[in-house]
Structure formats: structure tokens, C-alpha cells
Amino acid sequence: PSSLSVLEDDEPGFLPFSTLASNSSYGYGGLERHRQRLPVFKYRTAILYLLETHATTIIVGETGSGKTTQIPQYLKEAGWADGGRVVVCTQPRRLAVQTVASRVAEEMDVKLGEEVGYTIRFEDLTKSAVTRIKFLTDGVLLREMMDDPLLSKYSVVMVDEAHERSLSTDMLLGLLKKIQRRRPELRLIISSATIEAKSIAAFFNQSKKKLPASRDFGPSREPAILSVEGRGYDVQIHFLEEPVSNYLQAAVSTVLDIHNQEPMGDVLVFLTGQDDIDAAVQMLTDEAQNLAAHRSGLLVLPLYAGLSRAEQELVFSPTPRGKRKVVIATNIAETSLTLEGMVYVVDSGFSKQRFYNPITDIESLVVAPISKASARQRAGRAGRVRPGKCFRLYTEEYFESEMPLEGIPEMQRSNLVSCVIQLKALGIDNILGFDWLASPSPEGMIRALEVLYSLGILDEDSKLTSPTGFQVAEMPLDPMLSRMIISGSQFGCSEEMIIIAAFLSLQSIWVIGRGTQKELDEAKQGFAVAEGDHITYLNVYKGFLLSGKSSQWCHKNLINYQAMKKVLEIREQLHKLVQRLGLVLKSCGQDTQVVRKAITSGFFAHACRLESSSHGGMYKTIRTSQEVYIHPSSVLFRVTPKWVVYHSLVSTDCQYMRNVIAVDSSWFTELAPHFFQI
């Protein structure tokens, strides 16, 4: 078959899992050869040797060199998954967990969910008796520690993408260091795309307590570091002469310039999130239609978390002959996923980052400048298969003098509430004294303790309360959501709470991009109520059930059918969890007041008062008097009630509240007296 030739010559090995489900057209030999051509293959013996002789091995290698997909297979081949043991590999991102697991299953020619499986929150595709290689998010592994503190099922834990320094990765590294003292046979592999590895090596080298005199057998405690040489090609960097104010517009015109002036080759564009990516896809698709007469051939695809399976597969499929694929991605494509065949990179210079301010107690997702390290990674994506070009949508001067060298670890820019509960649940009482890779700020820690105390999750001695604190720790949700569900069970509306929690776990249930904004607003109006977004979701849910869970009904109402199926699934899981925790499951029928009260009992820290009702309403947070606005997507955008509680904030030019309910101010002192004393 012609597809085989793709592997024969030095073209990239396009091996999308979709087309390879049966593996027949390529044959095992083709994939096997592809595996042997990856840079890590040369180091296979060295990696296995280091693993035998060292408790911790740090592997640095460029994106695409085969760390994630190959090393777990080498471990299995070498027997680390024999005798009922399991090799486990963590990723900071859910989408990466799913794609790499599919890819590895395909390379091993096994069905995903059997020998190779994955677990992400609310989705477990493993079989405990069969699964030998398991991919999961670092957050899920942290949760598993609650039931199995020494992770005794696992022979090797590979913490992948450690350079990202996600909050969960940092916690995990601290905890794994502790576990290693109790389980000398446990092996750790820490892999990273950058030399961030050095600080991690130093961390594993130093120990707070003196270790027992090392025996003359057993693995060395000192971490080994191995650098895998990549085979990246040169990438020419182009900067802008003048800064631009609108990176979205600039990205779109740069792609069109590339398409008009440069030889064939796919384009990878880095934007920040679903909003700007969908907008860019739309603009480019429109442009491509205008060009159609004399110059067609643009295939524009988005890539961000929350895409359907089919959309994901398209991104990884080979580019049809004569076409130029343009993938517009978040920084998920920076190092977590390998997209083959990219020759041009367009780098906006921005990404969405979580920032938490302990003074205002506000955490929001902010579009912020990336670091030089990220910019280099992004550029590197253009040189995987042949020399490439990277177009940076900023000036050289800006790169040199304004961009920070490295990003700030998430630990130091996140709300620490979940982190504190998890460590407490693992029996770590002195949290400030924990062996941190990077210490969290004391202010952030104090805020977290304060919030947890007022939620009734910690007591005066900073211990988890029983049962509430322990129940919250068991729930794989934001602690405020968990608290809201527990209150729901006390107030007789837990059924409603878990439905709401399921909706809030998704980005959006509305179909974006199909209808006009006006049509979407009208569709929403069909369900909207003046009590707010959460109650509106309950109405959508009822409508969906009444329609017999019909996809036509969703289509008609501009609701995303896949998202609704996800809501059902998550609700089902939460249902089981709530039962397991011994909480009362009950519905309150039409009583929306009790629903809003239960929500408030979890989210009172997000209470705001109306200051001026022009422009969607300007509010101030009760606690710290920050100016916030109702997001235009909220059903309360034009209603502007006096008192509201929001679910989350997004910041662009100002702070917007997303998912808002109207509340009664008397509830605050009733439900959270400690918090509102002053």
C-alpha cells in the first residue's frame, strides 16, 4: 500500500491511531522500524541500566524524541511490569494522557484499556488485572495515594513533563521522595524537555533527614541524569519589526503569508485558549474560501483540551496530498504532544496562565507573556522533520529584554486550597515544613488555611474535620464544589448539586461557532432564569432528559450533545461517590432557593455586591473590594442582581465572573459566620 512508503523514505512516520486501529496496512514491522528510528532508542540499554542501578533517573530530551511513548514500553519489555506489577506514567494534561495512551496501545498492537490503559478524572480506561502500562494525570496519581499511600502496585513511576512544574507534579515529586525512603525498590523516572532537570536533580540529592548508612547493595540514591540527543533541524527565527496590538489578527495574516509565499509544509500556530483559537479557525476558514478560486488547500484545525475524539484524530491524521494543514493550538502542543510534519511555527508569545493573588484572594486565568524557555520550545516544533521557520509575533527587543527566562512554577501562582487538603489527607500536618521543590508563599498558605477553616474543612488545630473534611478530601473536585455538594445533602438538594457540579466541570455546554451570537443568546433565553446560570443548567438538564436525551434536541437548542453526554457521565460518577461517602441523596424539586443556599455555602468567598448596573454590572467582591464584572456569557449579564456569588473569574481587559447566581445577603452570615464577622 502507498501508505507504507511514507515510512520507507525519510518522511515523518505519520501514524495516527485512527487509521491504525487494525494496524494491518502498516504491519508491525513498519511501526517497529519507526520506533527504532527515534532518538531514545539508542539509549534504551543505558536507560534500563540506570534504572537498575539508581533509585531516580532523570531523562532530558527534546520533544518528539520518544520519551513518553517509548520508555514505558522499554520498561515493560525489560520485565518491570511482570508479576502483577504496573509501570505508570504521569502527564500534567488530560488530553496528553489520552493521546499518548492510544498511541502506545497502537504501537503495541493491543486494545486501549487492556494492557495499556489510562485514567483521568471521571474516566478510567484500565483493567486492574490486565493493565501493565498505565498513563494518568499527576492529579489522579495524587488521589490514588489516599488509598495506597506507598503506591505499592507500581514498580516504576515516570513523572513526565516535569519541566512544566505543574502544581500536582511538584507535590508528587515531594511525596515520591518520601515514598522512596519506605520503598527502596520503587524506581522513579523524571522526564523533562528542558534542563529544568538540574534543579530537580538537586532536590532529589538533598535529604532533610540523614539516610541510614547506605548498604553496599541496592540502587544508588543519587539521581542519574541522562540527556537524549535530539535530531532537530535548524529553525530560522523571524521577529516582527514593530510590535502588534492584536496578536490574533497578526497570527491569521502570518498564516496567509506563509501559505502564499512559502513552500509546502504544515503550520503550527500557538494561541492561548478555545476563544481565540475558534476565532482564528473561523477567520482562516473564511479566508480560505475567498482564496478558493486560485489557491485552495488550507486545512485549518483547532487543538485544545475538550475537543471531541473525532476532532483530536483529525489533528493527528496525515495531511491529505496537496493540502497544507494549519493546527491552531494552546501550549499543549509546546511539549506534551508531538505533531508530525510541522515546518512553520507561528508564536503569539502568549499563553493562558493561572495566577493567584493571596492579597485579593483572586485566582484567574490570564493571558500572559510566555518565557524565553517556552518560546524556544515552540520554535523547536518547526524543526522536527526538516529545517523550518518560526515567526514570532513580537520584536527581538521584546524577546531579549521583556520575556522572563523561565516561567514561575504553578505552585507559586495558584490557590493552594486543594493542595493543602490533599497533603492533610495524606497525613502531612506541617505543610510549610514539607519538602517542597519550590516553596509556596506563606501568604498563599495562610489564605488557604483560612478558607478551609471557614468552610468547616479544617478545625482550629488545622486538622481535617470529621466527617466533612475527610469527605471533601475524597472528592476529586474543587473543595468549594465538594463543600457545596455536602451542604446539598444536608439541605435536601444533593441531586441538584451533583448535576450542577457536573455542568461546572465542563468548559461550556453551548455550541460555539455554529449560530450567530444572537442565535446563541436566544437559545440560552429558552432556559434562562433570573436566579442565575446554575439554575439555568438545571433547566437544560431537565429539558435534555424530557427530550429522551436526544441529539436533535441539542442541535435545535445550540447545545453541545457531546458535552451533555459528558454531564450524564460525570453525574453518574458523582452519584456513586456521594453514596459511597454515605451522604444523603435527595432532590428538592422546584425549590431553587435551597439550591442557591447550598451553592453559597461552598462559594461564599466569591460573594460580590453590585456597585453600578451599567455595562453588565460592576460589582465588588465583599472580602477585598475588587472590581469584577458579569461575563457576557452569563444569563445574569443584563439582570444585574444586587448580590451575587460567582463560580470562577476570567481576566482579559478586566475580571469577569463566569457562572453567577443571585443570592440573598442574609445567607452570608447565616452560612459562613466566621468569614463574614468583620
Least Å distance, CB 187 to ligand ADP, is 18
Q: How far apart are CA 139 and CA 476, in angstroms?
A: 9
Compute the chain's Rg from CA coordinates. Answer: 26
SS3 518: helix
Alpha-carbon distances of 409 from 300, 412, 441, rounded to whole Å: 33, 6, 12
Nearer to ligand ADP, 319 or 338 (CB): 338
* Binder of residue 58, out of Mg ion, ligand ADP, none (CB less than 5 to 8 A by kind): none
Count the neighbouring beta carbons within 10 Å of the beta carbon of residue 635: 24
SS3 634: coil
Judged by CB under 6 A, the residue of 66, 117, 349, 383 near ligand ADP is 66
Nearer to Mg ion, 118 or 503 (CB): 118
E-strand stretches of 587-641: 607-612, 618-621, 627-630
Burial class of residue 441, CB neighbours in 10 A (0-12, 13-18, 19+): middle
Q: Considering only 56-64, 128-136, 364-372, 638-646, which stretch makes contact with ligand ADP by CB under 6 A?
A: 56-64
Q: How far apart are CA 56 and CA 189, in angstroms?
A: 6
Angle at 430 between CA 427 and CA 432, to 5 degrees: 130
Least Å distance, CB 148 to Mg ion, is 26
74 binds ligand ADP (CB under 6 A): no
Residue 558: left if φ>0, alpha if ψ -120 to 50, beta else—which one?
Answer: left
Burial class of residue 285, CB neighbours in 10 A (0-12, 13-18, 19+): middle
Nearer to ligand ADP, 74 or 356 (CB): 74
Place of cell 450542577: 500
Least Å distance, CB 226 to Mg ion, is 15
User: Residue number with the shortest CB distance to Mg ion?
Assistant: 68
β 350-357/362-369 pair status: antiparallel
Tell me which residues in 338-397 interact with Mg ion (CB under 5 A). Answer: none
Q: Considering only 57-65, 196-204, 491-499, 577-585, which stretch makes contact with ligand ADP by CB under 6 A?
A: 57-65
Count the neighbouring beta carbons within 10 Å of the beta carbon of residue 376: 15
Least Å distance, CB 70 to ligand ADP, is 6
* Binder of residue 38, out of Mg ion, ligand ADP, none (CB less than 5 to 8 A by kind): ligand ADP
Single out the residue of 578, 422, 580 nearest to residue 488, CA to CA. Answer: 578
Identify the sign of the CA torsion 507, 556, 276, 388: positive
x/- string (CB under 6 A) for ligand ADP, residues 303-322?
A: -------------x------
Amino acid at 582: G
Judged by CB under 6 A, the residue of 56, 63, 91, 180 near ligand ADP is 63
H/E run at residue 651: strand 643-651
Nearer to ligand ADP, 97 or 498 (CB): 97
| DSSP states along 391-408 | EEEEEHHHHHHTS-SSPP
Q: Considering only 65-73, 201-209, 456-464, 625-633, which stretch makes contact with ligand ADP by CB under 6 A?
A: 65-73
Q: Considering only 9-17, 345-353, 480-488, 663-671, which stretch makes contact with ligand ADP by CB under 6 A?
A: 9-17
Tell me which residues in 95-114 interact with ligand ADP (CB under 6 A). Answer: 99, 103
Judged by CB under 6 A, the residue of 31, 38, 225, 252 near ligand ADP is 38
SS3 269: strand
* Binder of residue 631, out of Mg ion, ligand ADP, none (CB less than 5 to 8 A by kind): none
C-alpha cell at 458: 479544617
Q: How far apart are CA 334 and CA 3, in angstroms?
A: 28
Nearer to ligand ADP, 99 or 351 (CB): 99
Least Å distance, CB 335 to Mg ion, is 7
Nearer to Mg ion, 68 or 422 (CB): 68
Judged by CB under 6 A, the residue of 56, 57, 68, 600 near ligand ADP is 68
Judged by CB under 6 A, the residue of 56, 57, 65, 131 near ligand ADP is 65
x/- string (CB under 6 A) for ligand ADP, residues 521-560?
A: ----------------------------------------
Q: What are phi and psi of 372, to 5 degrees?
A: -60, -40
C-alpha cell at 639: 439582570
Q: How far apart are CA 596 and CA 500, in angstroms?
A: 11
68 binds Mg ion (CB under 5 A): yes
Q: Considering only 64-72, 306-314, 503-511, 614-622, which stretch makes contact with Mg ion by CB under 5 A?
A: 64-72
* Binder of residue 139, out of ligand ADP, Mg ion, none (CB less than 5 to 8 A by kind): none
H/E run at residue 86: strand 86-91
Least Å distance, CB 230 to ligand ADP, is 9
65 binds Mg ion (CB under 5 A): no
Q: Considering only 10-18, 238-246, 276-284, 570-578, which stretch makes contact with ligand ADP by CB under 6 A?
A: 10-18
254 binds ligand ADP (CB under 6 A): no
Nearer to ligand ADP, 19 or 253 (CB): 19
Single out the residue of 277, 562, 236 nearest to residue 388, CA to CA. Answer: 236
* Binder of residue 13, out of ligand ADP, Mg ion, none (CB less than 5 to 8 A by kind): ligand ADP
Q: Considering only 39-47, 62-70, 386-394, 622-630, which stretch makes contact with Mg ion by CB under 5 A?
A: 62-70
Nearer to Mg ion, 68 or 536 (CB): 68
β 187-192/324-329 pair status: unpaired
Q: How far apart are CA 72 and CA 91, in angstroms?
A: 13
70 binds ligand ADP (CB under 6 A): yes
Least Å distance, CB 326 to Mg ion, is 23
Q: How far apart are CA 211 and CA 513, in angstroms?
A: 59
Least Å distance, CB 66 to ligand ADP, is 4
- Helix, strand, coil % over all residues of the chain, rounded to 5: 45, 20, 35
* Binder of residue 557, out of Mg ion, ligand ADP, none (CB less than 5 to 8 A by kind): none
Least Å distance, CB 226 to ligand ADP, is 13
Single out the residue of 345, 416, 406, 378 nearest to residue 163, CA to CA. Answer: 406
Nearer to Mg ion, 68 or 659 (CB): 68
Q: Considering only 67-75, 207-215, 349-357, 442-450, which stretch makes contact with Mg ion by CB under 5 A?
A: 67-75
30 binds ligand ADP (CB under 6 A): no
Count of residues binding ligand ADP (CB under 6 A)? 18
* Binder of residue 287, out of ligand ADP, Mg ion, none (CB less than 5 to 8 A by kind): none
69 binds ligand ADP (CB under 6 A): yes
Q: How far apart are CA 590 and CA 567, in angstroms?
A: 21
Q: How far apart are CA 76 and CA 135, in angstroms?
A: 13
Quick one: how many helices (H) and strands (E) in the chain?
A: 26, 21
* Binder of residue 488, out of Mg ion, ligand ADP, none (CB less than 5 to 8 A by kind): none
Alpha-carbon distances of 427 from 181, 341, 410, 417, 434, rounded to whole Å: 16, 48, 23, 16, 11
Cis-peptide, bond into residue 467, ω within 30° of zero: yes
C-alpha cell at 260: 502564499
Which chain residues interact with Mg ion by CB under 5 A? Answer: 68
Which chain residues interact with ligand ADP by CB under 6 A? Answer: 13, 15-16, 38, 61, 63-70, 99, 103, 316, 338, 340
